[in-house]
A = this chain, B = another copy of it.
């Protein structure tokens, strides 16, 4: 990295976001080189053969889940700094990004000055957030307190079927289980989310993007 430019990557499926970011970074082209990708697969392929100092990673990509992609990036290239860049404002989503190895999170309403400040902080090894993301992270909430309820594979399955309005009997038939087994899974879900009924459970799950 002596005297070389810093390599910034942008991974976002919106051409206008990519153009916008590049435009905002244009005054800094003496310092940064930007490369852009509209899907995760292309970026992973590039990263396998090139060094990237920092990547702006959208959460929702057509071919990948940003959180899983983040893990993959850190596996392939542990030194690459990952900053989440999204419109997603749920604290639980942001936390999942951080848990997956991201060094920060920016909302897409970040101002040009903030953007540059966040890049600098990240390159200095600091965790960094855009202002509004900081506010969200600093805000305790019920959903926050129950953030990212950890549910098992079977529980997820049950949850998805409940979201389709299916009853215990129907779910039991579809999954080849006893209705009593389904009831136990449901009870466990209510306990994990600390809610009293299926209505509340589903709304919490939507809130946490589990559905």
| Residues of A near any B CB (own CB < 8 A) | 13-24, 87, 108-112, 115, 162-165, 167, 195-203, 206, 211
Cα distance, A14 to B114, chains bound together (Å): 13
Besides A15-B110, A19-B21, A19-B23, 4 more A-B contacts (Cβ < 8 Å) are A14-B108, A16-B24, A163-B199, A202-B202
| Residues of the B chain whose Cβ atoms lie less than 8 Å from the Cβ of A87 | 87
Residue of B19, B109, B196, B201 near A19 (CB, 8 A) is B19
Chain A interface mostly helix, strand, loop or mixed? helix
| Residues of the B chain whose Cβ atoms lie less than 8 Å from the Cβ of A23 | 16, 19-20, 22-23
Known contacts: A20-B23, A23-B20. The answer to whether A165 contacts B15 by CB under 8 A is no
| Residues of the B chain whose Cβ atoms lie less than 8 Å from the Cβ of A163 | 199, 203
| Residues of the B chain whose Cβ atoms lie less than 8 Å from the Cβ of A199 | 162-163, 165, 198-199, 202
The smallest C-beta distance from A55 to any residue of chain B, in angstroms, reads 16
Sample of 27 A–B contacts (CB below 8 Å): A14-B20, A14-B108, A15-B20, A15-B109, A16-B21, A16-B23, A16-B24, A16-B110, A17-B20, A17-B108, A19-B20, A19-B21, A19-B24, A20-B20, A20-B23, A23-B23, A162-B199, A164-B203, A165-B196, A165-B197, A165-B199, A165-B200, A165-B203, A167-B197, A198-B199, A199-B202, A206-B206
Among A109, A162, A163, find the residue whose CB has the most chain B CB atoms closer than 10 A.
A109
Among A167, A197, A211, find the residue whose CB has the most chain B CB atoms closer than 10 A.
A197
Cα distance, A6 to B197, chains bound together (Å): 55
| Residues of the B chain whose Cβ atoms lie less than 8 Å from the Cβ of A165 | 195-197, 199-201, 203
